[in-house]
Structure 1
Amino acid sequence: MTPDELRTAQDLAMANPERLHLLARMLTHPAGRSSAADLVPSPGSRVADVRDDLAALVSVGLVAVVGQPAAPDAPDTSLYRVSSRGIARFGSAALAAPRRPGDATLDEHDHEALLARLTDTLSADFAATAGAGTVERLVRECYTSLGGQIGSRGQLPALTAWLATDRLAAMAEVTYGSPRDVLFVCVDNTGRSQIAAAVTRRLAGDRVRVRTAGIRPAAREDAMTETVLARRGLDGLVEFPRLLTDDVVRASGIIVTMGCGDACPVFPGRRYLDWPLADPAGRPLEEVERMVDDITDRVRALLAEIDTADGSVGVPPDAAPDAGPAVLPLWARPGWLARLTRRPWAGPRTTCDASGQRKAR
């Protein structure tokens, strides 16, 4: 499938307005990943319908499956997150879609209206840990920060929703510093840290909360890194580059730095590791492939340490992070066009201490 054909398939998949609502719910989910049951819009809705919509969005690369693919005869326990492509292409339209009965459809180019709706949504979602004023301040801060980083103004509201949601979730966790909250940090947050995060998300599933950041985040993802990860079915698990902030460091129990250890703030009670890895930017594909293999081995070892520490059952040693998504691409299955448009609709619903470790000082 060519890039143009993929875009056409994505447009077709998103012609169903229910899927805009689905993306919006995923984009502002505090956990950063969601099950089909988490995303049911109302008590009268069917989980099976949500699962069908998610399968369609996974198939065209707008949503990614977190964790190992489930066995065909196993109960569906899959977790999902919006891919960076999904945020870029349809995130702002998803925020503009009505979330509740009586809501208006906003103009996706009206950023003030979108930010106001986002602030209301997050204020309700995080009412137990953040006041409305804190939420509004953080939303504005994320919007301004991203505005100085990227050139595409159209993506700003959706990226703001993603970043503000994650930072609010991190603020709610600042007293914990769980070893199952892992932060990967590099310079531009497009190569090493993204590879490590994608591999960890695939291998660990919901056993580990993964975040990434950069001390000087780039304006866009690294094309070669995405190419290599795409060959392993992991490209949907990377995210847009983000700036390292104190709140995500405080929320993390393990901080892994890659070429920027001295720039990372140190908080007591956290475990700091430094992985001396070269930056994949500008390197040939074969070298990046070897880097991914190296990082995968390091991630496996780290997950084994985490699981051993609390006696949990970890990922099997031979489980491959490149097993690909749990759902085959729609275009690889017979009748994919019919499946893409299977659900009828008539508009939006109105009812709804190892070597390299640094000590905290």
Structure 2
Amino acid sequence: MTPDELRSAQKLTMANPERLRLLARVLTHPAGRATAEDLAQYAAADAPRDAVDAPAVADVEQDLDALVAVGLVAVVGPVPSYRVSSRGIARFGAAALAAPRHPGEAALDAHDHEALLDRVVETLTADFAANAGAGTVDRLVRECYSSLSRRIGSSGHLPALAAWLATDRLAAMTEVTHGSPRDVLFVCVHNTGRSQIAAAVTRRLAGDRIRVRTAGTRPVAEPDPMTETVLARRGLDGLIEFPRELTDDIVRASGVIVTMGCGDSCPVYPGRRYLDWPLDDPAGRPIEEVERIVDDITARVRVLLAEIDAADEAGSLDGSPAWIPRGWLPRAARRPWSTVATVLGVKGQRKAR
């Protein structure tokens, strides 16, 4: 399929309003991915009270398969769950946020960024109501939007990108299992090559067993084209994400932090496992070299996953929670989650160094 044919197929696929709503639900899902069952429950909750039939999981799966076929959504793990691809955010994220979330709600102008951000705040406030108030969510959403606009300039997909980033940062700040070895963070300099490859491979191999995040100490605006090409050959291109800045909140939420050429720039928190993988940067290298780097990272990821599984099994055998590092109980796990507001407050904001 040529690029023009792909774009035409995407437009035809997204002419269905329910698929726009589906894309928006996946984009702002607190877990960063969702199963067909999760999304069917969302649709049922949005359906009119007098609706006779709840949305069938099979219908949702059919729509998801259509989105996967044109590269707007990617399958995560051997047991399928779904996440929005970077292409899906860029091409249809704004339209998805503008679409009515339920029957009777008005559609928004996809070019009205302020209105889209207001809708994102409303959606995320409902999703994170147990842990964060509307003011906290509003500050974070607009902080993400402002930060992204300074880095990548004016773009039609900025509200959708801000929604994706704010959702993940809220999840990082409100997760009770801070420091879990099943929360893995991959960090490199530009967040376009090595960390993206590691994340894509981990998502495919581990599925929902591992929460994966990536970040860069000096992120750029777009993923590396050659990395995308090589990952596409392996069916992994939809599992990478837009480059993002390394922030304290995602480091705190991670139990395993893997650095790749930027170890000194990553904040250090007690109880985490830090690894440094000496890897070549794929940027500017010929495709054969990038293939070799992907093979190297894949082998390292397999070893890491085996170690996490073994440690988890050992923890469950001795009766202690597997995510708690030996001899250390994260203080965050004993605090009320109203502290999220403090983290986001004007005096509490901290930029990653």
TM over 0.5: yes
* 1:41-86 alpha-carbon deviations (Å, 9 max, x no partner): 0161111110000001101111000012xxxxxxxx4100010000
Shift of residue 194, structure 1, vs aligned partner: 0.1
Equivalents in 2 of 1:7, 1:245: separation in Å?
A: 34
What is the distance in 2 between the residues matched to 1:100 and 1:51?
19
* Structure 2, unpaired ranges of 5+: 46-53, 315-353
The one of 198, 201, 206 equivalent to 1:199 is: 201
Do 1:177 and 1:270's aligned partners in 2 also have CA atoms closer than 8 Å? yes
Q: Deviations over 1:184-229 (max 9, x none)?
A: 0000000000000000000001110000000111111100000000
Matches within 5 A, 1:138-217: 138-173=140-175, 176-217=178-219
1:167-190: CA deviations, max 9, x gaps?
A: 000001265210000000000000
Q: Residue 203 of structure 1 aligns to a residue in which SS?
A: helix
Q: Residue 296 of structure 1 corresponds to which residue in structure 2?
A: 298
Partners in 1 of 2:133 and 2:173 — Cα distance? 12
Q: Which is further off, 278-287 or 43-52?
A: 43-52
Q: Determine which structure has greater relative contact order: mean sequence separation of CA pairs < 8 Å that are 6+ residues apart, divided by chain length.
A: 1
Structure 1: distance between partners of 2:176 and 2:208: 19
Mapped partners of 1:119, 1:95: distance in 2: 11
- Cα separation, 1, equivalents of 2:288 and 2:282: 10
Counterpart residue number, 1:49: 59
Q: Counterpart of 1:149 in 2: which secondary structure? A: helix
User: Distance in 2 between the 1:176 and 1:241 partners?
Assistant: 23
Match of 2:331 in 1: none
What is the RMSD of the two structures over their aligned residues, measured on CA atoms? 1.1
Tell me, yes or no, if the aligned pair for 1:183 and 1:213 is still in contact at 8 Å: yes
Tell me if structure 2 keeps the 8 A contact 1:91–1:158: yes
- What residue in structure 1 maps to residue 11 of structure 2? 11
Q: What's 1:21 paired with?
A: 21
**Structure 2 counterpart of 1:127, from 120, 126, 129:** 129
- In the TM superposition, what whole-angstrom CA distance separates every residue of 1:147-182 from its partner, at most 9, and x where no partner exists? 011135101000001000000000012652100000
Give the Cα–Cα distance (whole angstroms) in 2 for the partners of residues 85 and 266 of structure 1: 33
2:4 maps to a residue whose letter is D
Work out the CA distance in 2 between the residues paired with 1:280 and 1:244.
20
What letter matches 1:204 in structure 2?
A: A
Q: What is the SS of the residue equivalent to 1:255?
A: strand
SS in 2 for 1:64: strand
SS in structure 2 of the partner of residue 32 of structure 1:
coil
CA shift, 1:102, in A, is 3.0
Tell me which residue corresponds to 1:115: 117
Residues 209 and 152 of structure 1, relative CA distance in 2, 3 Å threshold: same
Residue identity in the other structure for 1:103: E
State how far apart, in whole Å, the 2-side matches of 1:215 and 1:19 are.
35
Counterpart Cα distance in 1 of 2:104 and 2:234: 43
Query: Equivalent residue of 2:44, what SS?
Result: coil
Shift of 1:131: 1.0
Which residue identity does 2:172 align to in structure 1?
A
Q: Given that residues 174 and 247 in structure 1 are in contact (C-alpha distance below 8 angstroms), is that contact kept between their aligned partners in structure 2?
A: no
> Which secondary structure does the structure 2 equivalent of 1:88 belong to?
helix
Provide the C-alpha distance between the structure 2 equivalents of 1:102 and 1:244, rounded to a whole number of angstroms: 40
Tell me which of 228, 231, 237 is aligned to 1:229.
231
Unmatched segments (≥5 aa) in structure 1? 69-76, 313-361
Matched, 1:95 2:105: no
Which residue does the alignment assign to 2:72? 62
Cα distance between partner residues in 1 of 2:296 and 2:182: 21
Aligned residues: 304
Question: 2 CA distance for matches of 1:78 and 1:221?
Answer: 24
Distance 2:135 2:106 in 1: 24
The one-letter code sitting in structure 2 at the alignment partner of 1:34 is A
Q: Secondary structure at the match of 1:98?
A: coil
The two structures have a TM-score, normalised by structure 2, of 0.85
CA drift of 1:311 comes to: 2.0
Q: Secondary structure at the match of 2:187?
A: strand
Deviation per CA, 1:90-128, whole angstroms, max 9, x where unpaired? 000000011123321000110110000100110010011
Residue identity in the other structure for 2:121: T
Q: Aligned to 2:156, what secondary structure does the other structure show?
A: helix
Partner SS, residue 274 of structure 2 = strand
The amino acid of 2:18's aligned partner reads E
TM-score, length-normalised on structure 1? 0.83
